[in-house]
Amino acid sequence: ILGEIIGEFSGGSASLMADVHPQSDGSCLVAGSASVRELNRTMGWDLPVTEAKTLNGAILEHLEDIPTPATSLLLGGYPVEIVQTQGNVVKVARIGAKLKRGA
């Protein structure tokens, strides 16, 4: 029981890591429900922090539309590809390494 209680309180980055799945090509598959602030803190990224709290919200805010799978965008310099949607929600997105300016 104590382990379950402690796990609940220490779960910040542990629960985020369940939402992030590194790929062999250097990209990461990320759950749309992942917190943008936690992604930035844990992964060392600097995705734009806006009123949207989740990756799904940030993508929808950026596009101002509901994306379909295979939609690509740049979010704060990071290439993002929509992998899976459900209704009007981004369930999974692939995030690549931040592009360097002038590249």
The domains located in the chain, with CATH, are 2-95 (3.30.465.10)
Q: Which residue has the higher pLDDT, 68 or 2?
A: 68
CA distances 102 to 25, 26, 77, 88, 99, Å, are: 22, 21, 12, 34, 9
- What's the pTM? 0.82
User: Would you state the structure tokens that stand for residue 65, as one six-digit string?
Assistant: 């539309």
CA pair distance 45, 97, nearest whole angstrom: 9
DSSP 54: B
Mean pLDDT of the region 43-59: 94
Nearest in space to 80 (alpha carbons), one of 47, 34, 43: 47
Mean pLDDT of the region 27-52: 94
Q: What angle do CA 22, 29, 19 make, to 5 degrees?
A: 90
